[in-house]
Every structure is written in C-alpha cells, then in structure tokens.
Structure 1
Amino acid sequence: MDEISPVRQWRVPTNLPVTKLAGAVLLVALGLLFADGDPVRLVVAGLAAATLAGWAVRDLVAPVRLAVDPAGLTVIHGFAGRRLLPWPTVEAINVDRRQRLGVTGEVLEIDAGESLHLFGRYDLGATPEEVAAELRAARRYP
C-alpha cells in the first residue's frame, strides 16, 4: 500500500495573480483611454482595477488555500489567515457539480460542522475531484 505524505498543499496557480494584475493595469489603461474626461468612467475603472488588484494581492500573500497533514486540514480563513480543522471536526468532503450555461463547474466542499469551506479549481491548482480523493485517502490514515 502506498504511503501518504505527511503534508500536502494545494495553492493558487502562479499565473493567476499575474493575470489578475495585468487585468487591473489594462482596466486602468482602458479607463484613461476611453473616459473622455468623464469622472464616473474613471472612478468605475479605478474601482474595478483596485478590486482585481486586491484579489491578486491575496493570491500572492496567501497562495496556499488548503493543506492536509495527520492532524487535519488547514484552510484559508479571512483574507490571508489560516485555520486548522482537526480530523474529528471534518464531517464531510464532497464535490458539488453544477451546470450553468452549458458549462459544468465543480467546487470542493469541506463541511466542518459549524463552518463550510469551498474551493474551486483555481483555488487549488487541481480539479476538486482529485483533491477530494486525496483528502479522503489522507483521512483514512490519521
């Protein structure tokens, strides 16, 4: 039987924050280019760019979204904090699949009783199904 590594982490893909920052710069450039002196357009472009940049900063400050070890799961909490979910508090590990507009989306759900933690493909750098399988396997070997 294969031995499970004591610590496994899933993180945001490295190209994602770079793409978000490039999008923020593009929004500012487009706002300046097409605002035609309209302050509302400039403000809207600036707010959208600031939101996208803040989202990218979170990816850079806290790239690891989920980790597993013999003690349990460590999940991101808040903007960049961490929270340990000991194995006894983890009630369920599921993958929710929904189809919208012809596209199927998957979300990893970790139910810890009083809290529910959701992770998408771009949070994990892997498919939620793959991560769920690894978490279930790790849970068997506490």
Structure 2
Amino acid sequence: MQPESSPVHQWRVPVILPVAKLVGAVVLVGLGLLFAGNDRVQPVLAGLAAAALTGWGLRDLVAPVRLAVDPDGITVIHGFAGRRRLPWPVVEAITVDRRTRRGLTSETLEIDAGESLHLFGRYDLDAPPAEVAEVLRAARSAAG
C-alpha cells in the first residue's frame, strides 16, 4: 500500500467563522429567553435556530479544511465532515462562476468530477475562488 501524498496546498474555513457562528447561537438563545415573556414559541424558535447555527459552527471546527490539492488529485469535503478523493483523471473541469446581484459580485469555485459537482465559496476557502482555481489548474498541468 502506498502512502498518501501530502497536500501541496490546503484551503480552510477562516478561524473567525466558527467562533462567530457559536457566539451567534448563544446570542440567539439569550435573546429568545430575554424577549419570551409568556410566549413559549419564541424561545423554541430561537433554540432551533441556535441548534442549527451550532451544528454549522461545529462542522467548521471538526472539518476546517474544505479543499486540498497534491500531485495526484484533489481532496474535497464530503457530507458533514467526510473527505472524498478526486484523482486528476476524474476531474473534468475547474471553473469559477461569477454572478452579480444588486451590485454585489460573488464567485463560486466549481469542480466538476463527472458524477458530482463540488462548489466552494470565498468563506469555504479563505481565498478568492479565482486564485484557488489557478492553483488547481497549475497543479493539474504539472501532474500531466
């Protein structure tokens, strides 16, 4: 069995993001309890929203690396915190989708692996998707 190649480059969620999500969950619970009065629905809704935000923040803590590249291919996050290996022959296209809406432009990195499409935004990568796409294309070219 061959040892797995070490990543040439990794992209991860910025550290502040999970912290902000967890703090936001605590604030939601606090506000739900503070403004509840006799209403039982408000704290329940705040608790549900806080639970969703906590789960989202925990995912960022458990699996902060969203994308990694090495000479043999790409490793992407899959599911809640799993990993999926995409060898270079499986990767059909690496593109950046740019959309402008209400004066704001957003970019999404798209990795097309035939049967699956993997999407990454700016906050998944902590880098501009166009720059990440360039690095991935260069690594793919260097691999042959």
Write the letter of the residue equivalent to 1:52. Answer: L
Local SS of the residue matching 1:114: coil
Local SS of the residue matching 2:142: coil
Structure 1 vs Structure 2: percent identity of aligned residues? 75
CA distance in 1, matches of 2:98, 2:73: 25
- 2:33 maps to 1:32: yes
Q: Report what 1:69 is aligned to.
A: 70
Q: Give CA-to-partner distance per residue, 1:46-89, whole Å, 9 cap, x none.
A: 00000001000000000000000011000000000000000001
**TM-score normalised by the chain length of structure 1:** 0.94
Write the letter of the residue equivalent to 1:69. Answer: D
CA distance in 2, matches of 1:98, 1:6: 30
Q: Give CA-to-partner distance per residue, 1:94-114, whole Å, 9 cap, x none.
A: 000111222111100000000
- 2:99 maps to 1:98: yes
Q: Give CA-to-partner distance per residue, 1:25-52, whole Å, 9 cap, x none.
A: 1100110111112111111100000000
CA distance in 1, matches of 2:100, 2:35: 36
CA distance in 2, matches of 1:21, 1:119: 22
Write the letter of the residue equivalent to 2:82. Answer: G
**TM-score normalised by the chain length of structure 2:** 0.93
Q: Report what 1:17 is aligned to.
A: 18
Write the letter of the residue equivalent to 1:14. Answer: V
Contiguous gaps of at least 5 residues in structure 1: none
What value does the CA root-mean-square deviation take over the aligned residues?
A: 1.1
Segments ≥4 residues shifted beyond 4 Å:
none
Alignment of 1:1-142 (within 5 A): 7-142=8-143
Write the letter of the residue equivalent to 2:18. Answer: P
Local SS of the residue matching 1:53: helix
